[in-house]
Each structure stands twice: as C-alpha cells, then as structure tokens.
Amino acid sequence: MSPVIMSLIAVMVIMCVAAAMAVYGDSKVLSRLMEGITRQPEAKDALFTNALVSCGLIESMPIIATVVVLILIFANPLLAK
C-alpha cells in the first residue's frame, strides 16, 4: 500500500472514531443530566450548566481530530522526502 492510501485510511478511522466517541460521550452526559434532574429538580440550573460545559469539552475532541486529519492530508509527515 502506498503512504497516501494509508494516510487516507488513517483519516477515515480518526474521523469515524472521533465522531462516534463524541456522540457516545454527549449521550452519556445528557442521560445523566436527565437522571439528575429527575432525582433533584431544584438543582436543575447547576446540572444544566455543568452538562453544557461537559458537552462543549466533549465536542472539542472531533475538532482536534479534524486538525490532525488536515495535517495528515495537507502536510503529511509520512510523505516527506
């Protein structure tokens, strides 16, 4: 296999795993939010704020993965001669 094809396969794997893990993480945070609100409705505001911050941090993972993918596509260190 050529390094270009291997890089494109790596790009595909990185983006798929990053997207899947972000969706999984967000679903876990939001399901715990719903569970927490049902247990303590008076703490809704604090729980909601923490959930939004957590979802934002989780969503930064695919953005960082996108930067890594762009480096692999446009400035591939594997193809340096």
pTM (predicted TM-score): 0.81
Q: In the predicted model, what is the mean pLDDT of residues 50-69?
A: 95
Task: Say what percent of the chain tops pLDDT 90.
Answer: 74
- At 69 the pLDDT is 92
Q: 3-75 belongs to which CATH class?
A: mainly alpha
Whole-Å CA distances, 78 to 5, 9, 17, 56, 81:
11, 13, 21, 32, 9
More confident site: 8 or 34: 34
Q: Is the pLDDT of residue 81 over 70?
A: no
Domain ranges of the chain: 3-75
- At 66 the pLDDT is 94
d(CA 49, CA 18): 24
Mean pLDDT (the chain, rounded) = 92
Quick check: 22 and 62 in contact, CB under 8 A?
yes
Backbone torsions φ then ψ of 76, nearest 5 degrees: -65, 115
- At 77 the pLDDT is 74
